[in-house]
Chains A and B, each alone.
Chain A
Amino acid sequence: MNGRRFAIIVFIIAIMFGTVVLVGISKNTPLVIITSMIATTIAVATPLTLGALCGLYCERAGVVNIGIEGTMLGAAFFGWLASIYMNTIFHFPAMPSLIVGVMAAVLTGGLFALLHAVLSITFKVDQIIGGTVINILASGITGFLNRQMFFGAGSVFHGNIPDSPGVLPTIRIPLLADIPVIGRVFIQQPIAWSAIALVIITQIVIFHTRWGLRTRAVGEHPRAADTVGINVIRMRYFNVIIGGLLAGLAGAYFTLESISSFQPDMTNGRGFIALAAMIFGNWTPFGAWSAALVFGAAQALQINLQFFRTLIPPQLAVLQNSYVVGLAPYLLTMVILTGLIGKTIPPAADGKPYEK
């Protein structure tokens, strides 16, 4: 992450936080508002961070994966379904059901990634088309099963949506969470904490292990890697699947951590924003994370402005409209990707199938 990009991030976050502080100042102190913004930002950046890490593993190994969106959606659905099955049909208590749900989501992510790997590595399908196939397939399957299982006549749950086992409980960091006011930042749910841990782990794996070196080798110059005895196909398969597991965890965030229900197409483009975060972060874990935080802040801005809706002064009435504020993350993605980003360098063999 170079200085220029860091400055951009700080500047954008300052603008967004400043807006909310200005709007909410008559109700709360700036410290309370900023704390709340930071806490929301970290939470909503979770699927973006994990999605970006998924893209990072894939692309560092030379496989473009734009199917992250669909992978997350599929994982969100099947994780949620598994937790409900455990809870309602097998009568497990809430917590074990949720854990099984998360595992099912992660597994689903891995399976979608396996499909992408088969398409793009073995069958050498155009990787962007392959990813699009996954997105359409995930949207179709989850939409169909959601209606068939829960709402159709003769469905498993006879048209009654069963009670879901709720969402994952928060985890407090001891001591830090006890600090007055700003302690709130240190109370987050488990997937949010895992995402941060995985950023650090990915940094170590990609840049400080033999696995990472080999991964980068097959992403930059697969022929050279092959010559020194690295199994290009195998490395690509494993990295794409590792990425899929992470995207699966991101999917679990939607239905097991953020809210406890599933809606068709609920990922709403987060998979693509995650890709933009990865590109802006120049294919590095910490870069991707900070970009994910910027997009998260845009979403936190939206959430907090809705919260302070009644306080918005009439001159800024446009900010009261949820559709207008809802544009923020998407516009920001375009602006950052095109105007502010400067030059980014993808891995040299990114998107190219390896022909022996």
Chain B
Amino acid sequence: MSPLRPPIASMAGYVPGFQPPDIASWIKLNTNENPYPPSPKVKEAILAELGDDAALLRTYPSASSEKLRQAAAELYGFDPSWIIMANGSDEVLNNLIRACAGEGEEIAYVHPSYSYYATLAEIQGAKVRTFGLTEDFRIADFPERYSGKLFFLTTPNSPLGFAFPLAYVEELATRCDGLLVVDEAYADFNDCNALDLVRRYPNVVVTRTLSKSYALAGMRLGLAIARPEIIAALDKIRDHYNLDRLAQAACVAALQDQDYFKKRCEQVVATRQFFVTELQSLGYAVLESAGNFVFASPPDRNGRRVYDGLYARKILVRHFSDPLLSHGLRISIGTREEIEQTLSALRDIG
């Protein structure tokens, strides 16, 4: 084999999380998926796209994702030129890095949040800086002016669930020389979002995903909202056929069925409130959550013990070995029934 020394040789790479092969027989609360199916309009739209013989699939999809952009533009109140559609928000996060951070240039994110920013930056050869959190959930030691190319701010935060106050996000925007990327993967479960900051600050980008609130994790759909000149830069380096035909059909149908969407989000939020109260009555320390999950620590602060107990009962949740997080668990909000079963398992485990 050749003595190639790729710049990524030292990288660990990203390993997808373990999934039990018989996943259908598990209660799966580990990846913040929506416990409900997507809007019935999604299936209708996919079947319509397929037609009698799926013949349309032989042809390339729309390269401009025009209908999706239009639907998102109407929903969020922007001109379509402010919107780019992506193969999951991961794609647009990746393209933000590709478009803005050259080799050796710096990007930053908050730890703990979504570590995939770091993986994507390493692939690009960019430098990665992490900022910690203070006890009252502000960014620790954030400079008066941050000169890195991109600062990724996940709000609501995963895995902790808190959301930064908008005024604080706004302040961070004024302190970033580069782009402030507000990753709002969970914003639909919160009562506010940063969309207005996109209008008011030229360096604010908001990213969204349809994986969580729209129950379309399997279709890989995300988007970013930013000034047209930023969108244009992202547009030219994306793969021109980045979204397949069925994903495009699903996206339009999901975004347009707001009644279904709101009903399901309300259900998830109601189950979350119920779960938090019940966990607290079991003596768990629970952070207030603005997402479709909670971060909770058992009284003995031994997250691993409870993870194992749940695992033995075929309930899959998320435990992080990071010392900052190992005392607790991140548990996605399932159906009311799944959460009740989880609570009874937790009582059993003690």
Pair from one complex: no
Chain A interface residues toward B at CB < 8 A = none
